[in-house]
Amino acid sequence: MQFRKDINGLRALAVIGVVLFHFNATWLPGGFAGVDVFFVISGFLMTGIIFKGIEQKNFSIMRFYVARANRIIPALAVLCFVMLLFGWLYLPPLDYQLLGKHALSSISFLSNITYWTEAGYFDAASHEKWLLHTWSLSVEWQFYIIYPLVLVFIHKFTTIKLMNYLIIAATFLGFVFCVFASFNWPNAAYYLLPTRAWEMMIGGVAYLFPIVISNKKKIILERLGLILIIGSYFIVTKEDAWPGYAALLPVLGAFFVILAARDESFVTGNVVFQKIGAWSYSIYLWHWPLVVGIYYYTLNDIYIFLGIALSILLGFLSNRFIEQIKFKKDFSKIRAYLKCKPIYIVLGISVFSLVVFGKTRYFYNMPDDIYKAVTITSTTNNSDYTFDKLRELEGKTTFKDVKYKLLIIGDSQSGGFLNSLLETGLSNDVDVISRIVAARCQVFALDEEMLNRSFKINDNISNGYIAKERCQEQISTIQADEALEKADIIVVSMFWKDQSLPYVFKSIENIRSRNKNAKIYIIGGKSFNRSAQDIIYESYYENTDIGATAYKEIANNDSAKIDFQKSEFIKYQKVLNFSFINIMDFFCFSGKCTILSTKNEPLYFDDTHITEFGAKYLGAKIKESNYFPKDFYTKEK
């Protein structure tokens, strides 16, 4: 296909939006829509290649695949290789193992599916995934695999003209499904091909239905397209369901610019945009690891500008020395395709990634007990331990007739607290019932009006990470639960969010109104800014005191500020008649925090959840503190 300066310049506009959004979302809140512009461009170019080949009766699916592999794989493989080397030198084992998994999914073009199963694109955790941006390459590759197969198959039964209209119909139906899915399955809609295919097919529509209009009208059409694209960068935000109907802004914008076909355009045709457009694929590849590096190492804002400059420099170098390598793309026989070099590049990176993922221990020189401590996870720690007993006791509806009737309410934090009590040993005078509330609900006992108010400030609900109906069901169940009135001890333990504390106090007030006499305990948070594993790893290699390092990392971030929460709970405990148990007092004192036992047993398996060792440690500390009476526990032999 003949080179078009307008499309090359459109690539520049797309990558600029993505890069600026990722480095600082406040600059271009909707800059992520640049990916949608890339999709339209890809659809236009691929449709042109396929239809031209079909019309000339010389289209080869294998040759098409090889051409795409030659174009995409080498630069991607170099990125994956460099990141795997970087991780070997600078990342702790768990992060390196995850990088191995992600490198494998990226080079095999399945990363969109991998990331869909892990978290939302805009989640904070996504800023710790060095190859997250490769999800879009996986979507494109999956489209490249399926699209020509479908078109060649359809062509056997119909004419080119009818195929053109079938693509229009498929584009429309794809858009309708995309809008529906974006509101009902937001994460899947963001990452997966079925909700993105229409964006590439509308690019195909631009190729199949070109328009012939005057230059004056071309200018108007191009300007309209540019306004839609640039406008979307400022109007759309990550709070919008995406890609829903709002995706029409950048998609139609790209569609109009392509239809206008103005090679002489000042916007898309200027020398700067032409250079950035030529380097856009490699700029896209290299910018995201730089973004993650700034976030991962908590570098200051000056590094944002350095990161942007490095993205462009690395993009230029990658384009000049990697993308320009000419691999053979035409083979005379099917068996000759085994000589396609990108196949072996993929195999090499895949093997390296598999070794990193499956045999991470080989890359670290440290004692076995320390390595075990820095690699423990919820899975290796017995993935059901936190919730097992909590879920079992949730099935109970009535208390036994014993001295202490304990109701525990909350999320995984309540599971950890319950385990700490059970590991210490509860006497036969204690009977426990549990009621689980998802952490993302953020509150636990509100009437409908107050609950709806709390939902308005709950970013988990506004971002679609949890359905408000699920929170409503769990919280209304607690509101109507007779166990609230029958309990003489009520323990509430959750991952507290600063913004929701006013509604938390209203929840406590509601519980107190239902039960005037029960002893109510509110359990404080026990989070760190980083995982205990990262803290232990850093302290080991830098030969610093683990406890002192951990103390400096007591949570003081956007998710939770432990000291602020402590002061708020202490301020309200007399007013609302509850007792506040500051869990951090048991782990942290005299400028140090205990996150590793004297036998190098990890007490945490992340930044906030305790292991079985941690539950035993905490249980013993709680028992010593005398928050609960002596006959609450089994007698020591």
Q: What are the distances in angstroms from CA 273 to CA 12, 249, 438, 442, 463?
A: 5, 21, 48, 46, 34
Same domain, 269 and 355: yes
Same domain, 436 and 359: no
Are 76 and 353 a contacting pair, CB within 8 Å? no
pLDDT at 383: 66
Residue 510 belongs to a domain with what CATH number?
Answer: 3.40.50
The phi and psi torsions of 289 (rounded to 5 degrees) equal -55, -30
pLDDT at 124: 53
pLDDT at 120: 55
Domain of 139, in residue numbers = 5-363
Are 582 and 566 a contacting pair, CB within 8 Å? yes
Same domain, 43 and 172: yes
Is pTM beyond 0.75? Reply is yes
Per residue in 53-111, pLDDT tens?
999 999 999 999 999 999 999 999 999 999 999 999 999 999 999 999 999 999 999 99
Last residue of a domain, one of 306, 329, 363: 363
Same domain, 359 and 410: no
Same domain, 106 and 192: yes
Same domain, 470 and 336: no
* DSSP string across 6-62: HHHHHHHHHHHHHHHHHH-TTT-TTGGGHHHHHHHHHHHHHHHHHHHHHHTT---HH
Last residue of a domain, one of 308, 333, 363: 363
Residues of the chain with pLDDT under 70: 1, 119-125, 381-383, 636-637
Same domain, 345 and 396: no
Same domain, 85 and 172: yes
User: What's the CA gap between 11 and 30, in Å, rounded?
Assistant: 16
Among 201, 212, 208, 203, residue whose Cα is nearest residue 176:
201
Torsion sign across C-alpha atoms 66, 68, 70, 76: negative
The count of structural domains within the chain is 2
Q: What angle do CA 459, 565, 119 make, to 5 degrees?
A: 30
pLDDT at 123: 57
Are 258 and 42 a contacting pair, CB within 8 Å? no
The phi and psi torsions of 406 (rounded to 5 degrees) equal -105, 125
